[in-house]
Structures are given as C-alpha cells and as structure tokens.
Homo-oligomer: A and B are copies of this chain.
Amino acid sequence: MTKRIRQDRPTRQAQIFETAARIFCEKGFDKASMGDISAATGLTKAGLYHHIRSKEELLYEIMSYGMDLFERNVLNKVMAIEDPLERIRATLRGHVLLVTRDRPKEITVILHESNALRGRYRDRINARKKRYVKFLEKTFRELARSGSARRVDPSVATFAMLGMINWIYQWYRPDGRLDENALADTLADLFLGGLLKPAAASR
C-alpha cells in the first residue's frame, strides 16, 4: 500500500524512500548504510526501522516505484496503440524522454543496482521488466508480419533497443548541446531506419 500513499502526499515513508534513492545513487547500494539514511532523514536508526524492515526492502520499494513511473508514464500510454510501427516509435521516444528529461533517481537505481536484489524481491522486479520485454518482442513480431520490418530476431531487436536506451544515463548530459527531444528522435530514426541510406543499406 506504500505506493498509493506515496503518490497522494509526501508522508514520512515517502521522504525516506526519496532520501534513500538519492543516497543509493550517490554512494551505490553496497556502500550506503542504514546509518547514512537515518542521518539524512533526521530519524534515529530505531525510528527508521519503524518504517522499513531492511536496506533490501528499501531497495525493493525504490525499484518498485521506478517501475510504477515507467509503467504509468511510458508503457501504459503506448500499449493500446494499434499500429505496431507507431507503437514502437512512441515507446522508444517515451522511454528515452523518461531517462533524459524526467531522470528519476529510481530508474537510475534500477539500472545500476540490478544485481543487488535477491530472492522474491528480485523475482518481482524481474517479472515487471520481463513484461516490458515481452511487449517489445510481440510488437517486433507484429511489425515483421505487417511487412514493414526486415526479418530480425525479435529478442535481438528488443535488447538492442533496450541497450541503446539503458546506456543513455552513462553518457548523456542534460545541459549539453543535445536537446532531449532531438536525442529521442535521432535514436528512433537510427533504430528504425539504420545508419545507412537505403541504397547503401541494401547493397
């Protein structure tokens, strides 16, 4: 139920999540301690453990919230688009803009700490990631059936697209010369149309 509370008003628990996400981004999950988080929130350690059971639970809650943001702002908006080409372009643009314009700390934590979760926490986050992978694979299959796409293995297309997008946070500087909309369009054109001009590509 933490998710619902969080979206409605900034409760103490939401403040803890927010602070912990920032500290995980700065120090990394392994190096960050519950002591760092209690100090940054102004709570005693006992006070912190009243709201949250463990550092792992905190990581899980942050990643869950990151997946909520992704699903609400990207996936749920594009799933119903009928035309697979329009659907893939809107997904690519939406996903790129989420990581470049909105830059939620929670998404950075998902990307950077993907191996830190264990057990059922890990399974639950992975199931949500897998849902997105299946959606992309299905869209690439539809696109191939429609006759507009080449015969490319849908899993390779999926992970090539995810690699392009998930790498952005490693190099993109929002205050650099490249505007986020231009980046989203360029990546969409590159992925859909390729680097070469049609004549050179078909050689």
Contacts and interface: CB of A to CB of B under 8 A. Distances in A.
Interface of A: 28, 30-31, 85, 88, 114-115, 140, 143, 147-150, 152-153, 155-157, 159-160, 162-168, 170-172, 178, 182-183, 186-187, 189-202
Contact of A150 (B30, B85, B196): B196
A159 B186 contact: no
Nearest to A29: B30
A115 B24 CA distance: 13
A152 B194 CA distance: 10
B153 A178 contact: yes
A163 B156 contact: no
Given A28-B30, A85-B200, A163-B166, A156 B186 contact: yes
Given A163-B163, A198-B201, A190 B28 contact: no
Contact of A183 (B140, B149, B156): B156
3 interchain residue pairs of minimum CB distance: A194-B194, A163-B167, A198-B198
Given A148-B199, A192-B201, 7 more contacts: A30-B30, A149-B197, A157-B190, A160-B190, A193-B195, A193-B202, A194-B194
A166 B165 CA distance: 11
A185 to B, nearest CB: 10
Contacts of A189: 150, 152
A4 B31 CA distance: 34
